[in-house]
Structure 1
């Protein structure tokens, strides 16, 4: 389960936002127990997430923005949810979402001249198909991959997508998209040197 957690005391008050998946506003329904609000699809009962009020009473939160998830934090999060009376423990995917990838194959998109279909190794025998529009992408490059579930410094959540009829499961990142200081502004993904280890975590500052 891909879970993103956000906290912005100045913007929305002392509330922890636990996001699992987006559900259309007209389909959402809410159930409140104590300080915990469960958000889910009224018809399918699929879980969208939780809002936890008075969050600082339950968690040690030192910064605003995306909260880094650890096993200890997820354990505490599940404790708060279950103690409130909800039977919805979160089985969270804690694997890194920004990693070094290797463009193993590349071909032109059949329906878009400026798009390429890339097959990208990201470690542990995992290979992702990613549609990329960067003019400098090429086979044999080591690149930064934002996997599904990654949240970019801009706040963009990376989701599975379909671009002109081709499925895409991630994004190849430009330096400016990663908020790297003094990043070039021209279009193009960040190309890593040969020493970068495929599958290793790429550190992104928010």
Structure 2
């Protein structure tokens, strides 16, 4: 789940995205202050909460920080407007320290590598195009569902026929101050804790 709020730009409306993919066809349904956005199969892809500040405590900024308190407030807002839907939200950090367990050349692309990355709770297969990625490095991983500072949403993908779940990030992609202009992933110190959260300013 991702949530966006820009009172100055669009008014007192909280936009909540529940699916990583934007449906080709959408079917809105109105329930009081809630507009459900359904896809072609009738699944709820997201919803807009009007008069949001009367239901949820919000600071005016594009990306809204997810928390248990926010999920509870949203669940109550849905119930107050007659929407019978249970929010299932993954509150685990989306930017984490990963360890590159293995690296092999992509069979169909000279400049791509297939990396097996341990992020603590799981092991991810990530296709990476950075020339400086190596086995044994500690790196920053944007997991599926992460929103980059640029606004790009990280999704499961397939690069030249190989599945990739997440992205190994550069300092520039993470919008870190004094990020080098040279291309390449950010390599973290050896004492960085695998699976720990890496703070990224949206």
Q: Tell me if both proteins adopt one fold, taking TM over 0.5 as the criterion.
A: yes
Partner in structure 2 of residue 175 of structure 1? 171
Partner in structure 2 of residue 119 of structure 1? 116
**Aligned residues, how many?**
201
State the secondary structure of the residue aligned to 2:35.
strand
Q: How does 1:4-43 map to 2 (within 5 A)?
A: 4-21=2-19, 22-25=21-24, 27-42=25-40
Runs of 4 or more off by more than 2 Å in structure 1? 22-25
**Match of residue 63, structure 2, among 52, 63, 66:** 66
- Can you list the C-alpha shifts for 1:139-196, whole angstroms capped at 9, x where unaligned? 0000000000000011000000000000000000000111101101211000000010
Unaligned residue ranges in structure 2 (runs of 5+)? none
Q: What is the CA distance between 1:78 and its match in structure 2? A: 0.7
- Asked if 1:204 corresponds to 2:195, the answer is no
State the secondary structure of the residue aligned to 1:186.
coil
Partner in structure 2 of residue 79 of structure 1? 76
* C-alpha separation in 2, matches of 1:73 and 1:16: 12
TM-score (norm 1): 0.95
TM-score (norm 2): 0.97
Note the aligned Cα RMSD (angstroms): 1.0
Partner in structure 1 of residue 124 of structure 2? 128
